[in-house]
Amino acid sequence: MKKITIAIDGHSSCGKSTMAKDLAREIGYIYIDSGAMYRCCTLFALDEGLIAADGTIDTTTLERRMPEIHVSFRLNAETGRPDTYLNGECVEQRIRTMEVSSHVSPIAALPFVRAAMTAQQQAMGREGGIVMDGRDIGTAVFPDAELKVFVTASDEIRAQRRYDELRAKGQPADFDEVLNNLRERDRIDSTRAVAPLRQADDAIVLDNSHLTIEQQKQWLLERYAERAL
């Protein structure tokens, strides 16, 4: 079977990464969570005091300091899944907090942030054999990907999943806050000028509102088998 490129895009918290990780593990491909890379840029900006209390971003300093941001992924032997590292530090937990979630979309809308992350993502996928999830993977990062999937689910179902995930990790969460946050992120992600969230013309749409994780996995494996012949 040839090594193909698989792009999985879609709305916030629709279970893209679960599907993508499971598929990559099953077929022995590299998995890259591109959202984690934008979350790392956001964490860096927060830690360095580049986001004011009112949300204003010091874009001049952030742009100058972009070369200091190095994101990598290492397999966690315990979970069998990759953890995200920012400049050598494991930030897998810190990038998933509500604080990062509420600032990430404006950071991801900055053209110089997108240019830097897109270049890194394309370098990671040069050899094929990769599953990458995000918002613009099938449209901007890998427009020639052999398999493109666009995942969605209703707002309430997505918010419930995200809320359950935060609670399971012991992080404080309020359902309405989670729902508003994901709607706001979808709005900013879909309306930004550079590489907005949209379905690629040749993507297959999957509404997983009423599918189990196992059903999604099977569906995706079938699509992969059709393309990787």
User: What are φ and ψ of residue 107, in 5° steps?
Assistant: -65, -45
Near ligand DC by CB under 6 A: residue from 8, 82, 145, 189: 189
Judged by CB under 6 A, does residue 152 bind ligand DC? no
Tell me the two tokens of residue 60.
């001049």
What's the CA gap between 80 and 102, in Å, rounded? 28
Is 140 or 226 the residue whose CB approaches ligand DC more closely? 140
Q: Is 55 helix (H, G, I), strand (E, B) or coil?
A: coil
Q: How far is the CB of 23 from ligand DC (least distance, A)?
A: 16
Q: Is 48 helix (H, G, I), strand (E, B) or coil?
A: coil
DSSP string computed for 22-41: HHHHHHT-EEEEHHHHHHHH
Q: How far is the CB of 1 from ligand DC (least distance, A)?
A: 26
Judged by CB under 6 A, does residue 106 bind ligand DC? no
Is 4 or 41 the residue whose CB approaches ligand DC more closely? 41
What's the CA gap between 153 and 31, in Å, rounded? 22
Near ligand DC by CB under 6 A: residue from 31, 38, 142, 163: 38
Judged by CB under 6 A, does residue 22 bind ligand DC? no
The site for ligand DC (CB under 6 A) is made up of: 12, 34-35, 38-39, 104-105, 108, 134-137, 185, 189
